Structure formats: structure tokens, C-alpha cells
Amino acid sequence: MIEEKFNMPLLGDDFPKLTVQTTQGKKNIPGDYEGKWFVLFSHPADFTPVCTTEFYGFQKRYKDFKEMGVELIGMSIDQVFSHIKWTEWIEENLDQKIEFPIIAANDQIALKLGMLHPGKGTNTVRAVFVVDPKGKTRLVLYYPQEIGRNMDEIVRAVKALILSDENGVAVPANWPENELIKDRVIIPPASNVEEANKRKNNKDCYDWWFCHKKL
């Protein structure tokens, strides 16, 4: 018997091409999102407490994603009717209408994304994939079933990725509240001796290889 390989897209990889059924109809991913950033996140199962808090949290930040031009997509291996019933429950009981599509995946799709862990049965893990407008995987996060995600960190990371791409800069730890340079960003290190010497006495540099600026 050949053991099925546990795959997942790595940073910089093309996001796997998927044709999926969602609560908003059939979609081709990443094709239908060409030219857009999107966040695809999986959850273990509908009608579970931690996942419910996550969906509530993602929806509360849906406007933040849309303002950045980022699409949000949920996913588990539950069937579409389960997704629909669960989102109805969330709206009726928690007063939060889920506006983003939720994929009804099968085992083949989940395995293709590394969302079914061999030791965790049939439940999909808590994975997050951030994909850029060219269909490249730019960020991957994995959480265990028993711990819910921090949605503010996902918003922050996506915002930082977009800012980095648009401005050719790096983003420090805990941005925009970094302990050293606050909301400033890091510019690329000097690539030659002349440029390095110019930066040595610059008030916006700790050294020639560590300079920052305000955007």
C-alpha cells in the first residue's frame, strides 16, 4: 500500500488550482481571484465552539479586508448545506451575517492543501493561506484544533505584505507598534561600500545595514 503524501503549498509556490463548491456557488481558485489578494482559511468543523468564535471574528474584520482589496474565503470538509445552516445559526443567534464564501471541500482538496493531518482523523486543521494577485502563496499559518486564531494578526500580516510589495520595504516585528522604530519601515541594506558609508551618520540608521523611514 502506498502512503498518501501530506502536501502543503510552500511560500512562493503557485497556489494549487482548485474547482470548488462554495456557499456562493462554484469557484475556481485562484483563477477567479486573479489580480486580487485573498485569504483562504480552513476550520475543523461547522457547529463547533472555537470555529464559531473564529467565523464571528473574521466577519467582524471583513470590512478591514475589503478596504485593503483582499477577499476572504472559509473552508472545511463539511457539506454546503451544513455551512449554510451554520451561518444561519450565527446570524440568528449572534447577530453576525457571514458575507464571505465557504468552501465545501472533499478529502482530495484538503490533502492537496495539507489540511488533513494523518494523525487528526478527517477534520481539517486550522490553516491560513495568504495568496497574492499573481496566485503565489505568500504566507502560511497552521494552528492546532484546540487553539483559535488571532484575526488581528492576520489582518496585520496581510496589510504588511501589501505595504512591503508596494513600497519595496521590509516590516519590523509588531508593526505598526514596533518597540524600536514604531510605525516606520525598514529600507533594504546598502549594496555597495559607497552607499554604506553614506548611511553611517544618518539619523535614521542604527548602522548601514539597518535603516528605517516613515511612509
Which residues are known catalytic residues? 51
Contact 112, 16 (CB under 8 A): yes
Q: What is the DSSP string of 137-191?
A: EEEEEEE-TTS---HHHHHHHHHHHHHHHHHT-B--TTTTSBTTTBT-EEEPPP-
Q: DSSP assignment, residue 133? A: T
Q: Which residues contact 164 (CB under 8 A, 6 or more apart)?
A: 170, 171, 185
How many C-beta atoms surround the C-beta of residue 199 within 10 A? 18
How many C-beta atoms surround the C-beta of residue 215 within 10 A? 10
